[in-house]
Structure 1
C-alpha cells in the first residue's frame, strides 16, 4: 500500500523556504528579480516620514495617497481612503512604513520569500489603486510591480543568495554572512569618507542617487562607523565561525535602526540617516542574527 503524501496547506507553503529545485540559471534569475524588488522598496521607504507623513504640508505619503480621491481608480477604494485612511494618516503611515521596510528586508535577504512576495502583490495593488491615474503616473508601472511579485511568489527566488536556502539546509549562512558583511563594511567606509567634511550632519551623506532611484541610505561619520562595526563583526563571524561576533553585529545594527526610527521626523538623527538607512541596518541585522546562530552551516557544495 502506497502512502499518500500529505497536502501542503497555504500557510505552510507561504512560510516554507522558496527553494524548489530548478536549474541554476533559473534560480539566479529569480534571485536577481527578488533583490531588484528589494532595492525598489528600500529606496522608497525614505519618503514615508513621520510624524504626520506629509499631512500638514500636503506632501509625501499623504499627498500621493490623496490621489485615490482626486484621481480615483476604483471608487469604492477611493471612499475607503477618503473616509478611513486620510483622517487616520498617522496610523496608516506607520503601517505603510512597517510593511515596506519588511518588504525591503525580506526580499533583500531572501527570508520568507513567499510571504514577502505575497505582501508585495497586495502593497503594489494598494499603491496602484491610489496613484495609477494621478498626474505624471504610468499605470503600467503598477501592473508590472504586481506581476514581478507574482513571478517571485511562484519561483525558487530563495534558492540563491538567500536566508531561505539556509533555512532549507541548501545554503551557507557563512557565505551569506561574508557577502553581507563585506557590503555593510564597504558601505560604512564610503559613508565615513563622504561625510568627513561635515561629520555630524544630521542628514548625512546619501549613498545613492535619485536619478536611478537606488540608495543604501544616508549616513554621517557616526552612522558610517556603526555600519563598519556591524559589517566587520558580521564578516568576522562568517570567516571565523565565531557565533558571538554575529550576535553582537545583529544587536549593533538593530539598535542603530531603532535609534533612527525614534529620531527621524522627530529630531536630528544621531547617525545622520533616514528610513532607508534603518531598513538597510535591519537587513544587516537579520543576516547577522542567522550567521550568529548557525555560522558553521554550509551548503552541500561547500
Structure 2
C-alpha cells in the first residue's frame, strides 16, 4: 500500500479527537449524536425478508422512487434493473450500513469512517427520493453537509468511544452515563410491559411520531437492557467481570432480535432500533479493548495539515 494511502487510511481509522476548545468539542459531539439518532430511527422500518416488496411499501417503495421520479437517469436504470429485482440482498446491505452508522455515530466509534459511510448513504438516498412527492431536496444536502462536518471536525473528543481509544477520557466516564440511560430505558420497558409481558412489540421511550426512539422492548427485553445497564455501572466502579458480561448479554440480545425480526415474533419485543441500541451498549462496555489511537499530544501518522497538536 502506498505511503500516502496508508497514511490516509490511518487517519480515517484513528480516534477523531483533535484538540479543540471544549465548547466546540461538545457542539460537534451533539451534532454527531443527533445524526446518529437519525440513522437509529431509520433502521426501524427496514424489515426483512422482502423489505416491502410484497406490500409495495417500505424500502422497496422508497427505492422505487428513483425510477418513478428520477434524479439521475443512470442511477434510475441501475435501480430498476439491478436493485429492485434483488431487493432482499440490497435491503440487507442497507440495513447493515444504517445500523453501523447508528452504532458508530451515537457511540462515537471510528467517527471519521462512519461519517464517510454516512456521506455515501446520504447521496444514495438523495438519488432515490429527492424528487419524489412531498420531499425537500435540501434535506439531503443538509444530511451530506452534516457528515462532511463530522469527517473534518473533532466530534469524537467528547462522550465517545474514540476519546477512550485515544486515552482522552477514562472508560468509566463513558460507561456511567450509558449505564444510567440503559437502566432508565430498561425500567421503563419493564413497568410499561406488565399488562402484556411478552408482546411482540413492546413499549418504548420515543416520540409519538415516532421520529426519535431508543428501541422498543417487552418485559424480557426490558430486563435485558436493565441488566446490561447495571453491568455498565458496575464496570464503571471497577468490577472487571462486569464489562464483558454486559457486552455478552447485549450482543446475545441483539443477535436474538436480528434473527427473529421480520420472520417471527421477537421474544424480546424489539425492533431493528433495539438491535442497534444493544450493540451500542456492547461497544461502550468494551471500548477500552478496541485498538488504541495516538495518545494526546502525539501527532498521528496521517495528514496533519490544519490539525491541532
Residue 244 (structure 1) shift: 1.1
Alpha-carbon separation, structure 2, partners of 1:38 and 1:142: 15
2:263 corresponds to 1:266: yes
Q: CA deviation at 1:196?
A: 1.3
> Shift of the alpha carbon at 1:206?
2.8
1:285 aligned onto 2:282:
yes
- Equivalences for 1:40-189 in 2 at 5 Å? 40-189=38-187
**Tell me, what secondary structure is at the counterpart of 2:267?**
coil
Q: Do the aligned residues in 1 keep the contact of 2:165 with 2:287 (CA within 8 Å)?
A: no
Aligned residues: 289
Aligned residue number for residue 220 of structure 2? 222
- Cα offset for 1:131? 0.4
* Offset, 1:210: 4.4
1:254 is the counterpart of 2:251: yes
The answer to whether the 8 A contact 2:201-2:269 is kept is yes
TM-score, normalized by length of structure 2?
A: 0.91
Distance 1:269 1:38 in 2: 24
Distance (Å, rounded) in 1 between the aligned partners of 2:273 and 2:207: 13
Task: Name the counterpart of 1:29.
Answer: 27
Partners of 2:240 and 2:98 lie apart in 1 by 30
Deviations 1:12-46 (CA, angstroms, capped at 9, x unpaired): 11101111111111111100000000100001100
Give the TM-score, by structure 1 length. Answer: 0.93
Q: Please report how far the alpha carbon of residue 9 of structure 1 lies from its aligned counterpart in structure 2 after TM superposition.
A: 1.9
Which consecutive unaligned segments of at least 5 residues does structure 2 have? 297-309
- Write the deviation string for residues 146-199 of structure 1: whole angstroms up to 9, x where unpaired: 000001110000000011111111111111000111111111001111111111
CA shift, 1:231, in A, is 0.7
Measured against aligned partners, the alpha-carbon deviations of 1:36-88 in whole angstroms (never above 9, x if no partner) come to: 00100001100000010000001100000000000000001111111111011
Structure 1 segments of 4+ aligned residues over 4 angstroms from their partners: none
